[in-house]
Structure 1
Amino acid sequence: MIPMRFLSWARSRFRMKLKTLALLLCIVTCTTLFFSYALREPSGYKYALRLVASTEAPCACRRCLTEAEDDPWFAERFNRSVHPLMARDNSALSDETLKWWQSLQLEKRPANFSEVVEELFQLIPDDVLYADAGPNRCRTCSVVGNSGNLKGSQYGRLIDASHFIIRMNQAPTTGFEEDVGARTTHHFMYPESARDLDNATSLVLVPFKTLDLQWIISALTTGTIKNTYIPVKSRIKANKDKVLIYNPAFFKYIDESWLRGGHGRYPSTGFLGLLFALHICDQVNVFGFGADQHGDWHHYWEKNLEAGAFRDTGVHDGDFEYNVTRLLADKHKIRMFEGR
């Protein structure tokens, strides 16, 4: 006769084996389903690889915009391998990229791109910046658009609390500090929208043509270039040691990956600023994008509410860019503030 103590031990061992088998079966089933989806969807496969490869938090913030649980839509578009800024090391453009970039604002006889770039980086630094992403960094950024929805928002303190504050084109702050903040670390502009800056702010030139690169050289030295397709500032007050150049290759990446081509002739300065932040920051707050609470598109410093006719020029697809921005917010990649 088998002792009761032995029978009890045997039953306990049997139940333990059943639980272990059930757990293993569950893991195998879930893994099979997960990767069968991933293999059916190319973007899902990319997403699956990211999940498997991720072993630590990508940044030191409470929440990072490039976290392991990226969804397929974001993973398919986001690419850190293309750096937002141009330096000597990454200034050689492929024939395809150079041809695409030079088609944005056609020049009759553009100067030799490589020669202009070499002259440019004899004047300004060519350091590779902001390639320091990692688990020990938490860089917060505010991207401040120029929408009239900033009027009366009282976002100023919140904007100024970020490490980087990115503005574009005219973007006055004097007299508007309560709503738009007072600090600026990076100011995006091109020759036709240029303004003077203080010594602590980085001028980020967004070049649409080779002449724009020649203009920044001239504006910081001789002041000989006074016209592009319209009259422009011949000289500019800015710290030449803090001048940065938006990378034409990154420009093309945004158009192809984020706007999918065919949505306006090229991205707006605001959208270029947003994608710049998305690639060098760990948390991104966005202010002053889209229409105001009445549905009007205009700038916060304008009294004429019809002055925002830029939305309908066909150069930029404001509606599509806004929808992408809104989707980034819905997916918790950015935090969007749309006025009060």
Structure 2
Amino acid sequence: MEAVEQKDFFISRRYNLTWAFVLLIGCYLALLYPVYFPRQKIIWRKYMKERQLNEVLLNHSAELLNQPCRLMWSQARLRELYSVKLTPVVPVFLQMHDVGSTQSGLDKFLTPFGLKGNTKLAIKALQGLPHTSLTPELVSRTCKRCVVVGSGGVLHGSQLGSHIDRHNIIIRLNDAPVTDFEEDVGSRTTIRLTYPEGAPKSPKEYSNNTLLVIAIYKSVDLAWFSSMVNKQTLGWWTKLWFWKSVVESVPIKAENFRILNPKIILETALQLLQYPEPNNMMTAFSQVPTIGMTAVIAAIRLCDEVSLAGFGYSLEQPDVPLRYYDTVRMDAMKVQPIHDVETEKIFLRTLVHARAINDLSGGIS
């Protein structure tokens, strides 16, 4: 009798554990489903009804473009706003002579804030590049206007495409598409700033006139970069270290690849956003700027006047689409832990209000 009772007990416990697991998974999916699988037509209709078309923004953008370009405007305003002394000259793209040099400071921090322990990998990656600066055409311009095009849903229906295309340098982020969205986001791309997991998988998003700039967040990113530049097969061991599948072939020439200088990420994090100094023992838990925020500082380093389009997170409006090209909701930003979007929003709002940068799409209030 006792043996039967024990058997029943263990069967009952197994049964309860199974149902507990099923319920846990069910609750998890119930929380994530509304964020990642919203009803597209309802969300966009509600969003566009609230936003409509803002002729004021279009007129403001046209007015800015019709004015003469102002030399060193955005960088000078940034220096006035923040008392910290920014290093006068920081190359936006990683240079061979800085890798391994103690004076560059790149050996002080691990990726993504430096190259500590990755000097050999960085040298190998740079050896495959014919050029490590802007194209001669862009370098020769006396005054350059930049626009950093974010992925924000605020761009949907904005009709800013023709205005965006009038800038000298157009910086896009990750795999944000241009094809089929030209009316709102423009058709030209000068620089696409991304990382292996974020690189576009569609060949349509690559052009021989575009620089693909890779931000190095971990050691394996350098291995991926070298494979793409040299048109080599990505090893299975390398693939294991990415948090999602990566593109295994990029249809551009070696002369179109660049590596973002880690000092741009470090400068953005420490000096401007005032995050705590990275912990070299576990940089995965350090606060890291979003790639959009990093692109803004890179743009200020590259250009004289900087504008933004498609920036701004409305976390108080959880049902609003997060991006212009899909229906993921604003709620998704609350799931990720390493980006402080509120601090970045305040920082960008300060720059916009001081007219250091221009907000073409009105997402930064």
Question: Please, what TM-score do these two structures have when normalized by structure 1?
Answer: 0.71
Structure 1 distance, partners of 2:215, 2:117, is 18
Structure 2 distance, partners of 1:211, 1:181, is 33
**Does residue 228 of structure 1 match 2:241?**
yes
Which digits, 9 at most, give the CA deviation of each residue in 1:181-208, with x for residues without a partner? 1110000110111124121110000111
Partner of 1:305: 329
Verify the 8 A CA contact 2:74 2:357 in the aligned structure 1.
no
* Aligned length in residues: 276
Which digits, 9 at most, give the CA deviation of each residue in 1:141-197, with x for residues without a partner? 110000000011111011000000000111101111111111100001101111241
Q: CA RMSD in A?
A: 3.3
Shift of 1:128: 4.2
Of residues 115-124 and 144-153 in structure 1, the stretch that sits farther from structure 2 once superposed is 115-124
Pair 299,120 (structure 1): closer, same or farther in 2 beyond 3 Å: same
**Does residue 273 of structure 1 match 2:285?**
no
Unpaired segments of 5 or more residues in structure 1?
1-59
Which of the numbers 168, 174, 178 marks the counterpart of 2:173? 168
Structure 2 matches for 1:127-276, cutoff 5 A? Answer: 127-129=132-134, 137-195=142-200, 196=203, 197-220=206-229, 221-225=231-235, 226-230=239-243, 231-262=245-276, 265-276=287-298
Which of the numbers 74, 81, 96 marks the counterpart of 1:88? 96
SS at match of 2:171: strand
Shift of 1:312: 4.2
Tell which structure's C-alpha radius of gyration is larger: 1
Pair 116,64 (structure 1): closer, same or farther in 2 beyond 3 Å: closer
Q: Percent identity over the alignment?
A: 27
Unpaired segments of 5 or more residues in structure 2?
1-67, 278-285
Structure 1 distance, partners of 2:315, 2:270, is 31
Shift of 1:91: 2.1
Pair 160,132 (structure 1): closer, same or farther in 2 beyond 3 Å: closer
Structure 1 distance, partners of 2:222, 2:160, is 34
Of residues 272-281 and 231-240 in structure 1, the stretch that sits farther from structure 2 once superposed is 231-240
Verify the 8 A CA contact 1:219 1:233 in the aligned structure 2.
no
Verify the 8 A CA contact 1:198 1:239 in the aligned structure 2.
no
Verify the 8 A CA contact 2:147 2:308 in the aligned structure 1.
yes
Verify the 8 A CA contact 2:192 2:211 in the aligned structure 1.
yes
SS at match of 1:101: coil
Shift of 1:96: 6.8
Pair 131,86 (structure 1): closer, same or farther in 2 beyond 3 Å: farther
Structure 2 distance, partners of 1:191, 1:229, is 8
Verify the 8 A CA contact 1:173 1:182 in the aligned structure 2.
yes
Structure 2 distance, partners of 1:234, 1:227, is 13
Verify the 8 A CA contact 2:264 2:294 in the aligned structure 1.
no
Structure 2 distance, partners of 1:147, 1:111, is 34
Structure 2 distance, partners of 1:201, 1:65, is 25
Partner of 1:327: 350
SS at match of 2:220: helix
Verify the 8 A CA contact 2:321 2:327 in the aligned structure 1.
no
Of residues 268-277 and 255-264 in structure 1, the stretch that sits farther from structure 2 once superposed is 255-264
SS at match of 1:285: strand
**Does residue 283 of structure 1 match 2:305?**
yes
Pair 130,315 (structure 1): closer, same or farther in 2 beyond 3 Å: farther
Question: Letter of the aligned partner of 2:250 in structure 1?
Answer: I
Shift of 1:71: 6.4
Verify the 8 A CA contact 2:161 2:182 in the aligned structure 1.
yes
Structure 1 distance, partners of 2:191, 2:182, is 17
Structure 1 distance, partners of 2:125, 2:183, is 38
Verify the 8 A CA contact 2:75 2:304 in the aligned structure 1.
no
